[in-house]
């Protein structure tokens, strides 16, 4: 079932996502060679609780941490560890919070020190695919219009998109309908309606999109060991256009 949110609920979700993005951008400044992802996890939880929110991932389906930290060939769901990050790594940071009954969710991939030009290009293409997908998040469009925007841009640049994991609706639950795949056929899928909120999250691979999951049942990595990048924002549907929750004001002063 797809839940459309009221203006009041969207304002709460905007506040939740402001906490998420504040944590992510603060973490970005802490990502340097030698830091561990477990240290980043502890920082994220501390900052979240000080902001009056709760980490959304901790305890979700038994997950033990607040942060998902996914280096290099790890696509998503990387478990924080004591292993220090190294110069030249790239690191996916995926974070969510629960605030006043509603969830926020976002992700970014960041460099660890100086990185190779190809790694930076992968990150730039993935982030641009998110921007293009958000542009398609308009009333009257359909879910697969969003996925097609991601797929087209990634493949035009010689990359592949992950099929095994998707974006999703979000609200009072962390994962709601509909699923938002990073591929699709224009004009297909659920119709986008006023008040829907979608967590759009391109996952793009430098090589094959085939996925392997580690024995921990969480860490999902590229089967061929190629680099992967991940960006995500929670986006609301308004009559005036997409609203990137936590990042921008409602378009045109939209009120639902």
| pLDDT value at 177 more than 60 | yes
Predicted structure pTM score = 0.96
What is the rounded average pLDDT of the residues 56-68? 98
Residue 255: predicted pLDDT: 60
- 213 beta partners: 220
Q: Answer yes or no: is 253 within a domain.
A: no
Q: Using pLDDT thresholds of 50, 70 and 90, give the confidence band for residue 65.
A: very high
pLDDT at res. 248: 85
What is the rounded distance in angstroms from the CA atom of residue 65 to the CA atom of residue 47? 14
Nearest to 199 by CA among 181, 225, 218, 220: 181
Mean pLDDT taken over the chain: 97
Residue corresponding to tokens 């292993």: 83
| Residue 218 tokens, joined | 């969480």
Chain centre to alpha carbon of residue 44: 16
For tokens 């030249």, what's the residue? 88
Residue 253 has pLDDT above 80, yes or no: no
Residue with tokens 């999109």: 209
Answer yes or no: are the C-beta atoms of 110 and 93 closer than 8 Å: yes
Is residue 107 assigned to a domain?
A: yes
Q: Is residue 75 part of a domain?
A: yes
The tens digit of pLDDT for each residue in 144-163 reads 999 999 999 999 999 999 99
Report the distance separating Cα 248 and Cα 54, nearest Å: 22
Cβ atoms 130, 247 nearer than 8 A = no
Q: Would 254 be classed as within a structural domain?
A: no
β-bridge mates for residue 36, sequence order: 84
- From the list 19, 172, 196, the residue with the least C-alpha distance to 96 is 19
Q: How many domains does the chain have?
A: 1
Contact (CB, 8 A) for 256 and 14: no
pLDDT band at 185 (very low <50, low <70, confident <90, very high): very high
Domain with 170 in it: what CATH number? 3.90.230.10
- DSSP label at 159? -
> Domain range for residue 99?
7-245
Does 59 reside within a domain? yes
**pLDDT tier, 218 (very low <50, low <70, confident <90, very high otherwise):** very high
* C-alpha separations of 219 from 55, 71, 93, 211 in Å: 19, 10, 13, 10
Better pLDDT: 251 or 55: 55
Whether residue 250 is contained in a domain is answered as no
Measured distance CA(92)–CA(102) in Å, rounded = 24
Q: Does residue 180 contact residue 200 with C-beta atoms inside 8 Å?
A: yes
């Amino acid at each position: 079932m797809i839940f459309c949110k009221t203006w009041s609920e969207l304002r709460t979700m905007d506040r939740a996502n402001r906490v998420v993005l504040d944590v992510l951008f603060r973490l970005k400044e802490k990502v340097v060679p030698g830091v561990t992802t477990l240290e980043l996890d502890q920082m994220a939880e501390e900052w979240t609780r000080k902001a009056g929110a709760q980490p959304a991932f901790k305890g979700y389906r038994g997950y033990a941490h607040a942060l998902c930290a996914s280096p290099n060939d790890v696509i998503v769901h990387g478990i924080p560890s004591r292993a220090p990050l190294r110069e030249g790594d790239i690191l996916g940071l995926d974070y969510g919070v629960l605030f006043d009954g509603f969830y926020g969710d976002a992700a970014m991939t960041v460099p660890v020190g100086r990185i190779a030009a190809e790694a930076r290009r992968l990150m730039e293409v993935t982030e641009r695919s998110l921007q293009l997908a958000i542009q398609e998040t308009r009333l009257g469009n359909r879910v697969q219009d969003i996925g097609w925007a991601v797929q087209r841009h990634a493949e035009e640049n010689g990359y592949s998109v992950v099929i095994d994991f998707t974006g999703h609706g979000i609200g009072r639950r962390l994962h709601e309908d509909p699923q938002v795949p990073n591929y699709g056929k224009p004009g297909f899928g659920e119709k986008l309606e006023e008040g829907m909120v979608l967590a759009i999250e391109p996952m793009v691979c430098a090589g094959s999109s085939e996925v392997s999951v580690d024995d921990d049942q969480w860490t999902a990595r590229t089967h061929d060991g190629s680099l992967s990048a991940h960006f995500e924002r929670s986006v609301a549907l308004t009559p005036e256009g997409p609203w990137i929750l936590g990042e921008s004001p409602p378009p045109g002063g939209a009120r639902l």
